[in-house]
Homo-oligomer: A and B are copies of this chain.
Amino acid sequence: MKNAQPVFVAVIGAGGVGKSFLSQLRDLAIRRPSPQLKLCYIATSRKAIYSDDYFAIELDSAVQALAASSKTPRAVPDLLAYLTKAPGKAIIVDNTSSQDVAEAYPAALKAGISIVTPNKKAFSGSYKLWQDIFHAAADSGAKVYHESSVGAGLPVISTLKDLVETGDEVTKIEGVFSGTMSFLFNSFAPVGGGGGKWSDEVKKAKALGYTEPDPRDDLNGLDVARKLTILARLAGLPVESPTSFPVESLIPKELESCSSGDEFLEKLSAFDQKMEEKKASAGDKVVRFVGSIDVASKSVKVGLQTFDPSHPIAALKGSDNIISFYTKRYGSNPLIVQGAGAGGDVTAMGVTADLIKVVAQIA
């Protein structure tokens, strides 16, 4: 495009998603060189690379340069000041799950700095933070894109925004929003019967890397509750917080106080019988851990539900997510999006796609 203005990009976080994102950014620069896009800052919690003259960081060697750097990251207000003085528009790509960074979004947006992130914290925290973010963006014209905050790279946020912005009436959103929960229930209660012991399935999921280091961080349902909070707010419900609606935890009360994830896993088998009973009580149906939003009754909930074997939620495979949007225009058959909802590459893909869209708008 002609007359494109330079855009300065600051990346925070270089964990699994951050590294995948940097690699996608490098490949993008090779396929479609864009002198316009200048990566001027990368930071982890301990290290950073940047220069006072906003010199573009080489993407090929960014991860190595970061590891070798002796610079420490700028404090967030300092980073905002740095980007505000850049000779062009600026974008922060927040690949962390940090609450601190999330809370700086309103200040960044007010300063005209756009935000691209998979970080759920900002959008599923207090309703006031949500409002501050979107008011700041509306005032300054800076953009805030967060596709990967729900379902990783699956087109969930963008689809819901399109439905709402074009005036469709979303009546219900329902789905499996956690890759961990999807894997656990597809193995524990497969269609057609069978499946292993609950505690064994949790151990297997952990061994395969499908759970957080402490599996209780998945089993408490909070991750799903955060995603539901985001979708409910986009659908127009002023949900106060992810703890302001019913969330069923799969952590037995007795094990909440275990001092470690390992201790929890060790003691979990004592509760297998309870989960067996839940599976058995489903009868011909199968039990799944789902989230649902009923817009008319303003009801949001997260927990176990049973589904007919022919239901798309029952037919899910592996660790896939599925999200069904019921709307006035789509009628009785919902608009469904399905696929991997976790993993570094597909999460980074949502971030990279968002970055491309934001650049197209602000450059």
Q: Please determine whether B166 and A155 come into contact, CB atoms closer than 8 angstroms.
A: no
CB pair A352–B24 under 8 Å, yes or no, is: no
A interface size (C-beta, 8 A): 50
Q: Does A159 contact B (CB under 8 A)?
A: yes
A67 in the interface (beta carbon within 8 A): no
**Contact of A28 with B166 in the complex, beta carbons under 8 Å:** yes
Copies in the complex: 2
CB-CB under 8 A from A356, the residues of chain B are 165-166
What string of 1s and 0s marks CB contacts (under 8 Å) between A331-363 and chain B? 111111111100101101100110010001100
CB contact between A360 and one of B27, B325, B361 (< 8 Å): that residue:
B361
Across the interface, name the chain B residue whose C-beta is closest to A23: B167
A315 to B331, CA, bound (A): 18
Q: Known A27-B167, A167-B27; judge A339-B346 contact (CB<8 A).
A: no
Q: Mark A138-178, 1 if CB is under 8 A from B, else 0.
A: 10110000000000011100110011011110000000000
A8-51 to B contact mask, C-beta < 8 Å, 1/0: 00000000000000001001100100000000000000000000
Q: Closest approach, in angstroms, between the C-beta of A148 and any C-beta of chain B?
A: 11
Q: How far is the CA of A195 from the CA of B23 in the complex (A)?
A: 51
A333: contacting residue among B155, B320, B331, CB under 8 A: B320
A330 touching B310, Cβ below 8 Å? no
Taking a contact as CB atoms closer than 8 A, the residue among B24, B310, B337, B361 that contacts A337 in the complex is: B337
Check A337 against B155 for contact (C-beta < 8 Å).
yes
Given A2-B141, A155-B158, A329-B345, 20 further pairs, Cβ under 8 A: A24-B167, A28-B165, A155-B337, A158-B158, A162-B353, A163-B349, A165-B353, A166-B353, A312-B315, A317-B333, A318-B332, A318-B333, A329-B340, A329-B349, A330-B346, A331-B340, A333-B339, A333-B340, A335-B340, A360-B361
Residues in A lying within 8 Å of B, measured CB to CB: 1-2, 24, 27-28, 31, 138, 140-141, 153-155, 158-159, 162-163, 165-168, 191, 310, 312, 315, 317-318, 320, 325, 329-340, 343, 345-346, 348-349, 352-353, 356, 360-361
